[in-house]
């Protein structure tokens, strides 16, 4: 563990080789954008309105162009990025995107667009010393001090910043930085407990039991009819979620020329599962909410051994009708 007194030093050091992408104010909202100056970084804002998933998985992107019988890949150059000041829940979201878009094994799905961006990005995480009231990461096996998935992780302290480098990419990135080695980091445990004590705790149980097992028994439950009526199906929750990764693919053409692109999609859209025949296996809001909650707390657990919800609370804050997925999950746990 090393210590620095001013984060500006680390920022300028990393900026020498890569562009920095961090939270920047845009009107009244905050998004991950390229920031040229350290002072443009919104260091006091915990989470952006959108997560940083767009750095790796853009909301709308061209997959390829076609002309007659030929396909042409986009020529956009992917620049080395430093994703700066990312919170542990969003880092966990990036890790879940990697599990989906860069699957293990020869037959696992490998998305070249995602992988290229991921490989060229250095993730710099930042511990949450003051979580928001809407945060519930500790309910889904997260922590405001969890460094897993980061290349460099920053812990604010009373008199500076402690820096951890969980990956070799992170170790290489700080070479040449003037730092002070620190032996005693016991205060971090105290700080971690203090931060976690401020987070609202839901009792979902472990990923090997708890809510996942309960949801398996609720496929035909009247519970789903009781929770969906307020939802207007706008899809905002999926778009702001750091781990939602569904997309649609569309072609646009004129004559023999055209392009194929993909756009973010949402399982709460009525047409999400609509088939060409006109059949829709999930035509009702209750069925779509059953799918969403099961995907977050049951199906993803079954495949990857972890919740797909990271407890960032963005969906609840962004929802125009104040639906909170944590409250719904807690209601499912106690449903008779």
Asked whether residue 119 falls in the same domain as residue 186, the answer is: yes
Domain boundary among 139, 167, 198: 198
Dump the DSSP string for 253-268. EETTEEEEEEEE--TT
pLDDT given for residue 144 in this prediction: 97
- Tens digit of each residue's pLDDT (9 = 90 or more) over 23-57: 999 999 999 999 999 999 999 999 999 999 999 99
pLDDT given for residue 208 in this prediction: 67
**Which residue is associated with the tokens 């609202």?**
200
Task: Identify which of 242, 239, 234 has the alpha carbon closest to the alpha carbon of residue 264.
Answer: 239
Mean pLDDT of 269-288: 96
Asked whether residue 219 falls in the same domain as residue 316, the answer is: yes
Asked whether residue 194 falls in the same domain as residue 224, the answer is: no
Asked whether residue 322 falls in the same domain as residue 287, the answer is: yes
Count up the domains in the chain and report the number: 2
Mean pLDDT of 237-257: 96
Q: Is 320 a domain residue?
A: yes
What percentage of the chain has pLDDT greater than the value 90? 89
How far is 93 from 310, CA to CA, in rounded Å? 7
Position 11 confidence tier, pLDDT thresholds 50, 70, 90 = very high
- Tens digit of each residue's pLDDT (9 = 90 or more) over 295-335: 999 999 999 999 999 999 999 999 999 999 999 999 999 89
Token digits of residue 101: 């878009």
- Tens digit of each residue's pLDDT (9 = 90 or more) over 170-224: 999 999 998 888 988 999 999 999 999 999 888 887 776 789 999 999 999 999 9
Q: Which domain holds residue 278?
A: 210-242+267-334
Please report, for residues 31, 146, 215, 227, 329, the alpha-carbon distance to residue 293 in angstroms, rounded to integers and kept in the order given.
27, 25, 8, 11, 7
Asked whether residue 40 falls in the same domain as residue 175, the answer is: yes
Please tell me the number of Cα atoms within 13 Å of 15 on its side-chain side: 15
Asked whether residue 16 falls in the same domain as residue 155, the answer is: yes
């Amino acid at each position: 563990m090393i210590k620095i007194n001013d984060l500006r030093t680390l920022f300028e050091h990393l900026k020498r080789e890569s562009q920095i992408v961090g939270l920047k104010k845009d009107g009244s909202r905050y998004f991950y954008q390229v920031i040229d100056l350290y002072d443009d970084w919104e260091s006091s804002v915990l989470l952006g309105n959108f997560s940083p998933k767009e750095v790796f998985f853009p909301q709308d992107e061209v997959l390829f162009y076609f002309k007659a019988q030929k396909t042409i890949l986009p020529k956009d150059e992917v620049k080395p990025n430093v994703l700066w000041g990312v919170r542990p829940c969003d880092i966990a979201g990036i890790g879940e995107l990697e599990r989906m878009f860069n699957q293990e094994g020869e037959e696992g799905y490998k998305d070249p667009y995602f992988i290229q961006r991921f490989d060229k990005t250095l993730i710099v995480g930042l511990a949450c010393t003051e979580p928001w009231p809407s945060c519930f990461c500790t309910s889904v096996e997260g922590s405001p001090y969890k460094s897993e998935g980061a290349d460099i992780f920053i812990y604010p302290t009373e008199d500076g910043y402690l820096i951890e480098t969980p990956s070799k990419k992170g170790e290489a990135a700080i070479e040449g930085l003037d730092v002070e080695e620190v032996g005693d980091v016991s205060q971090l445990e105290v700080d971690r407990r203090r931060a976690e004590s401020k987070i609202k705790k839901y009792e979902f149980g472990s990923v090997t039991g708890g809510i996942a097992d309960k949801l398996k028994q609720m496929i035909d439950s009247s519970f789903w009819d009781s929770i969906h009526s307020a939802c207007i199906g706008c899809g905002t929750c999926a778009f702001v979620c750091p781990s939602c990764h569904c997309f649609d693919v569309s072609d646009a053409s004129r004559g023999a020329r055209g392009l194929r692109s993909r756009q973010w999609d949402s399982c709460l859209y009525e047409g999400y599962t609509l088939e060409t025949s006109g059949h829709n296996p999930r035509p009702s809001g209750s069925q779509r909410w059953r799918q969403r909650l099961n995907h977050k707390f049951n199906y993803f657990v079954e495949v990857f051994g972890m919740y797909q919800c990271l407890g960032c609370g963005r969906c609840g804050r962004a929802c125009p009708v104040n639906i909170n997925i944590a409250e719904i999950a807690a209601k499912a746990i106690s449903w008779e």
